[in-house]
Amino acid sequence: MIARRAVASISKLNPSFAVRAYSNEGSTGAPRPDGKSDAFTKREKTNEDYYVKKHEAEVLASLKEQLKKQKEHLNDLEKKIDDLNK
């Protein structure tokens, strides 16, 4: 009998009490409406910036190495041309 009353009283509750409300404003890492960011967002941006700079440095080093090889090849070809012209 007590169980019936408990079930009956639970079913009469307002459904909004049983549902958890989620909010983006207080979530860690969520974008803020005023443009400010929390520590997690700043740290994440710093990590992304570090990765991008590291990747760009690797690409630049690779391009410099390719340029060096091309210059050496060009110098070798110029020497061969000079030898043929003599």
Q: Is the pLDDT of residue 9 over 70?
A: no
What does the pLDDT read at residue 39?
A: 87
Position with higher pLDDT, 80 vs 16: 80
What are the sequence ranges of the domains in the chain? Answer: 60-85
Q: Which two tokens stand for residue 51?
A: 């990765």
Please, what's the b/e burial string for 55-67 (b: 16 or more CB within 10 A of its CB; e: otherwise)?
Answer: eeeeeeeeeeeee
Mean pLDDT of the 39-59 span: 95
Q: What integer pLDDT is reported at residue 12 of this predicted model?
A: 60
Structure tokens at 11: 């079913």
The least confident of 26-30, 65-69, 74-78 is 26-30
77-84 CB contacts, 8 Å cutoff, 24+ apart: none
pTM of this structure: 0.52
| Among candidate residues 47, 17, 41, the one with its CA nearest the CA of residue 27 | 41
